[in-house]
Amino acid sequence: MIYGDRWPQLLSVLSVGREVQVARWNRFLGELPGGQGAVGLHQVKPLLPDCYEFVKSSEVPRSESGLLGYYVMDPASVVAARALGVQAGDRVLDLCAAPGGKSLILAEAIAEKGELIANEPSVPRKERLKKVIQQYVPRDIRDRIWVTGYDGARWASQQKASFDKILVDAPCSGERYLLENPKELKEWSISRSKQLAHRQYALVAGAILALKSGGRLVYSTCSISPLENDGVIEKVMKKKGDLVRLVAAANFETSAMDSIEATKFGSAIFPDRSGWGPIYFSVLEKI
């Protein structure tokens, strides 16, 4: 068994169906008005900047321009998105962008100089992504955000050396979702995970071609499957190791390091130990 003695506890936590979520404050609105208590938010621990305990009964505040005050998401997803290290002025690609929480983090980071391509091939998910960006991002910033619907692997492979930073938050098994949906769980098989891993590798391989020299790529999933996590990056390093190098986890999000587990080719945040996730991510840099 992959997780050995750890598996019963990990399965139990995943089966509960209640992931930890935080209210991540919208940085486009500046400081939290009136202090965090004014909107019923309290800083999470371990500290994550702009992330607060989420209470479902809390009303989401709006700015005078109508932008929503915070976005609810898994804190582990915040860590994965920030691992990309986006800077003001970067040209950024979010290759599998829906539902949009990570895209918002990237949009905030490019500030008033960069550009963001948020790509989502699924039409319904793409429409949801558009709505999220409209609800949270000021119009002048939205003018430098493009929502597209391309086949990620094929399109990225044609964008030679076009982006400073690329996030590949790939479609995956999503075991927490599977355990909440008996029909989906019944249809799952190891061959399905292998097929996903093949698709995930294609997305990363295409993204590497689209990345500029010295640029950074983050590959992430919400899966606990080694096939879809380290297995994908191991294949990348075997086939594309002359193009990219691994970046150590110690280089980012030090405030959440006690929640991050090192793997052979990346990092993982699993709910049986941290209460967050599951999230796997690996950071690559174009040579």
* Residue 44: HSE in the Cβ half-sphere, 13 Å Cα cutoff: 26
Q: Tokens 């800077």 belong to which residue?
A: 87
The torsion region of residue 214 among left (phi > 0), alpha (psi -120 to 50) and beta comes to left
In sequence order, which residues have a C-beta less than 8 Å from that of residue 213 and are 6 or more positions away? 161, 286, 287
User: What whole-number distance in Å separates Cα of residue 41 and Cα of residue 72?
Assistant: 12
In sequence order, which residues have a C-beta less than 8 Å from that of residue 44 and are 6 or more positions away? 22, 51, 52, 53, 75
| Given 51, 96, 172, 222, the catalytic residue | 222
User: What whole-number distance in Å separates Cα of residue 62 and Cα of residue 131?
Assistant: 15
Does the annotation mark 222 as catalytic?
yes
Phi, psi of 284 (to 5 degrees): -120, 150
Q: Per DSSP, what are the bridge partners of residue 167?
A: 94, 218
Query: What pairing do the DSSP bridges indicate for beta strands 91-94 and 115-119?
Result: parallel
In order, the DSSP letters of 189-222 are -HHHHHHHHHHHHHHHHHHHHHEEEEEEEEEEES
Q: Catalytic residue positions? A: 222
